[in-house]
Amino acid sequence: MNVNVEYWKGIGVSREQLEDPKFNIKTGIKIVKGISERLKHGNVRKIATLYNNLAAEKVTDYGARVERLYRERPWENE
């Protein structure tokens, strides 16, 4: 999930904890789930944008890229 420990320090995780891939993924899922639950009309691009920057007021390039990857599912083509 590549959880940014500095950006998400308010959730109480350490860099050492996030070096564990399983913990990192579970933490990322918690963050994404929390964002998703707070959005009335959330979609992949909005959720990804806020995961990357909670202060964003419009969808970013990052959010659009995540949506494209989610739609294309390149991991299924291997």
Looking at residue 9, what is its pLDDT?
A: 85
d(CA 62, CA 53): 10
Q: Where are the alpha helices (DSSP H) in 1-78?
A: 15-18, 21-38, 44-52, 61-72
Sorted by sequence, the CB contacts under 8 Å of residue 71 that are 6+ apart come out as 44
Averaged pLDDT of the chain: 93
Looking at residue 70, what is its pLDDT?
A: 94
Taking the complete model, does pTM exceed 0.85, yes or no? Answer: no
